[in-house]
Amino acid sequence: MADIIKILPDHVANQIAAGEVVQRPASVVKELLENAIDAGASNISLIVKSGGKTLIQVVDDGQGMSRADALLSFERHATSKISSAQDLFNLSTKGFRGEALASIAAIAHVEMLTRMESMEVGEKIGIEGSKIVSQEMAVTPKGTSISVKNLFFNIPARRNFLKSDQVELRHIIEEFQRVALVHHGIGFHFHNNGSELFNLPPVNLRKRIAQVFGHRMEGRLVPVREETGLVGISGFICKPEFAKKSRGEQYFFVNDRFIKSPYLHHSVVSAFEGLIKADHHPGYFVYLEVDPAGVDINIHPTKTEVKFEDEHSLYAILRSTIKHSLGQFNVAPVLDFDHDPNLDTPYSYRDKGVVLPKVTVDAGFNPFGGGSGSGGKFQKVDTRGWEKLHEGLMETDTKGFSSLLVESHTEIQGDLYSDDQMGEPWATTLQLGRKYVVGTVKSGMLVIHQRRAHQRVLFEKFLGEITVKQGLSQQLLFPLELEFNKGDLDLLKELSEPLTNVGFAFGSWEGETLKLTGVPLLIPESGIGKVLDHLLADYRDGYGEGNISQAELLAKILARNLAIKSGEVLDQESQLALLNKLFACKEPALSPFQKITYTIIPDGDIDKKFS
C-alpha cells in the first residue's frame, strides 16, 4: 500500500493557523499592537480603513528589526521572546507563540518597514499569501510599520463572513481600548478612514481611563489596591451611583493582559451587593498581578480566558478589596433603592418575636361603583383591573377625579368624604414609612405609593410637553458645560428635538462638550448631568418595550428619573399637591410602568382588626 501521510506545505499550514489567530480585522489589530508594545514603543499609531478590511496599519517607534530578523519574523514559530519551554512560565511579553506575523502574512498583503536605531537605512519587505514579493532597503524612521491590506483575500469564505465596516470597527475599537487601558504610559493615535478617533498622550491610569471613556469618568472612579502573597490588585471601580443598566465598562487585566472571567466578575458584583439596583451593572477596571507560574493565559488562542491556580482565594481577596474601597471612600448608598430605613427593625425589637399583621385588601373593591353622590354603601364590582376601576369612574362622573378633588368641596364631601370629615379635601394626609401618602376617603383609607404616583404625574406632564412643545425652561446665566463621549453626544443630538420641547436649550456641541443654555424648570442645574446620564442609559435599553413612540419613551424615562423616591420625606403641602395632581391625571390608577399607584383599604377591613 502506498504511503498516504504528507507534510502540509508551509503556506497551507500557515493558512490553517491563521484561522485560529485571525478571526477578524480586530485580531490583527491586537497582534500588531502587542508586537509594538513588546518592541518597547513609546508612541503607537493605528490607521484603519473600511473597518480594517482594506487597511490596518500599525506604526511604532520601538526597537525595530535587523534585516535578517525582519525576514525571519514572518516564519512560523519565529519569535524572539522565548527560546526554551521553561521561558513560557516567566513571560513578561505579550506574544510568544511566534504565529501572528506568519498567520497574517498567509492571508493578506503585508508590507513591513523597519529600522533599528543602529542601522543607517531600514528594510522594506512585501509579502502576499506567505510569499515574499519584494525586499529592498528603504529610508524609514526608527521603529516598525506594518500594513495589512486586503485581509482574507485568498479565503473568500472568510472574507464574506466579515460583518459591516461599522461592526468590524467596533471590534477594533474594543481591542484598541483594551490595549490602551493597560499601557497608559504609551501614547496612542487611532485614525479611521482619515479621521481621528483617539489621540491619547501618555498619562497616569486614572487619566487614561478618562481619555478613553470621556472626561466625566475621572470623577467617578474610586481606587482599589491590595497586595497579598497571591495577588496584587490595583485599578479603579466606578462609584455605585454610576452603575449602568447596560453592561458598561468592565475590565479585568491579568499581568497587563485583558481577560474575561465570569467568576471574578461575580466576585466584583457581589462586593457591590446592596449598593446598586439588581438590573444595574457596576463599572470596573481591575488590574491583577499574579505569579505567571500560577496562571495559564494561553488556554485559548485569542488569549482572553485564563485559568488561575487558586481561584477561590482570588475571588475572596478581590471581593473584600473592593468592599473595602467602597467603604473607605465613603461611597455607600447615595441613591435610594427602595430601601426604607424607617422600616428597619429598631434595635430594641431585634430578637423579639414578630407577629405579622395581616391585611387583606379586596382588589376588586370599587369605591366609586355605587355612583356619584349615592352616599351609601359602595357596591363591589367583579373586576380586578384597575383600569376598569378608572373607566367606571368616568362613566359615573364625567368630570373625573380632578373635579372631585379640586373644584367643589361639597361634591367631594358628598361622595368621597364622610359627613364628619373636615371641609378641606385631603387635609388629613400623612406620610407612612416615607413611602406612602395616606388620606381618608369615605369608604376607608386611601394609600398612595408616592414614587409611582409621582411618576404618573410627571409622565403625563412630560408627554404633554413633548407633543405640544411647551416645556418651561429655565435660562442659565452661564451655559452649563457637560462632557460626554462621542456615542452619547450623538444620541443626545438625536433626541434634541423632544428634549427641547421639555425645556432643554442646547447651545453648542464641540468635541466631547455639550453646552446647555437652558434646562427644564423641574431639574436643578446640579442634577442635569446625572439625569442626562440616566436618560441615555435608559434610552439605550429602550425600556425593553416594543413599539412605543419616542415621545412616550422619553416621558417615561424622565418621569422615572425625576420622580420623588421612596424614602423621601414629603411635607404636608407636597403630600397634598401629589394627591391632587395624581387624581388630575388621565390615568391615575397606574404608573407609566403599569404598577398600581394607590389602593383603598375599606373601613370594613379595619373594623375586622378590632373585632
Q: Does 457 bind Mg ion (CB under 5 A)?
A: no
Q: Which of 14, 79, 443, 473 binds ligand ADP (CB under 6 A)?
A: 79
Contact residue for ligand ADP among 43, 49, 96, 301 (CB under 6 A): 96
- Nearest 5°: phi and psi at 369? -60, -25
62 binds ligand ADP (CB under 6 A): yes
Contact in structure between 261 and 232 (CB atoms under 8 Å): no
Kindly tell me which of 19 and 248 has the beta carbon lying closer to ligand ADP.
19
Does 44 help bind Mg ion (rule: CB under 5 A)? Answer: no
If one asks whether residue 27 binds ligand ADP (CB under 6 A), the answer comes out as no
Nearer to ligand ADP, 76 or 239 (CB): 76
DSSP, residue by residue, 393-458: HHHH-TTHHHIIIII-HHHHHHHTS-TTS-SSTTTT-EEETTTEEEEEETTEEEEEEHHHHHHHHH
Out of 51, 52, 62, 95, the residue judged to bind Mg ion by CB under 5 A: 95
Among 59, 100, 151, 499, binds Mg ion (CB under 5 A): 100
Q: What's the start-to-end Cα distance of the chain, in Å?
A: 101
The C-alpha cell 429598631 sits at 346
Backbone angles phi, psi at 418, to 5 degrees: -80, 165
Residue span binding ligand ADP (CB under 6 A) among the ranges 11-19, 43-51, 71-79, 601-609:
71-79
Task: Give yes or no for a contact between 44 and 188, defined as CB atoms under 8 angstroms apart.
Answer: yes
* DSSP 8-state code for residue 51: G
Q: Which of 80, 234, 396, 574 binds ligand ADP (CB under 6 A)?
A: 80
Query: Which residue of 24, 53, 97, 303 would you call a contact of ligand ADP, by CB under 6 A?
Result: 97
Q: Is 261 in the site for ligand ADP (CB under 6 A)?
A: no
Q: In this chain, which residue has its C-beta nearest to ligand ADP?
A: 95
Quote the DSSP letter at residue 74.
T
At 80 the three-state DSSP class reads: coil
Among residues 13, 78, 335, 522, which is the contact residue for ligand ADP, using CB under 6 A? 78
Closest CA to 109 of 125, 93, 126, 122: 126
* Phi/psi at 421 (5° precision): -70, 150
The residues facing 482 across adjacent strands are: 514
* CB burial readout 53-65, b (16+ within 10 A) else e: bebbbbbbbbbbb
Nearer to ligand ADP, 82 or 447 (CB): 82
Minimal distance, residue 289 CB to ligand ADP, in Å: 21
C-alpha angle with apex 248: 548 to 20, nearest 5 degrees?
110
Residue 74 beta carbon to ligand ADP: minimum distance, rounded to whole angstroms: 8
Asked whether position 39 contacts ligand ADP by CB under 6 A, the answer is yes
Least Å from the CB of residue 98 to Mg ion: 8
Q: Which of 177, 208, 205 shows the shortest CA–CA distance to 190? A: 177
| Interface with ligand ADP (CB under 6 A), residue from 25, 51, 52, 95 | 95
Q: Binders of ligand ADP among 119-178, rule CB under 6 A?
A: 144
Kindly state whether residue 579 participates in binding Mg ion, applying the rule CB under 5 A. Answer: no
Q: Which is nearer to ligand ADP, 114 or 561 (CB)?
A: 114
The partner in contact with residue 96, picked from Mg ion, ligand ADP, none with C-beta cut-offs of 5 to 8 angstroms by kind, is ligand ADP
Q: How, if at all, do strands 109-115 and 143-149 pair?
A: antiparallel
471 binds Mg ion (CB under 5 A): no
Applying CB under 6 A, which residues contact ligand ADP? 31, 35-36, 39, 60, 62-65, 73, 78-81, 95-102, 144
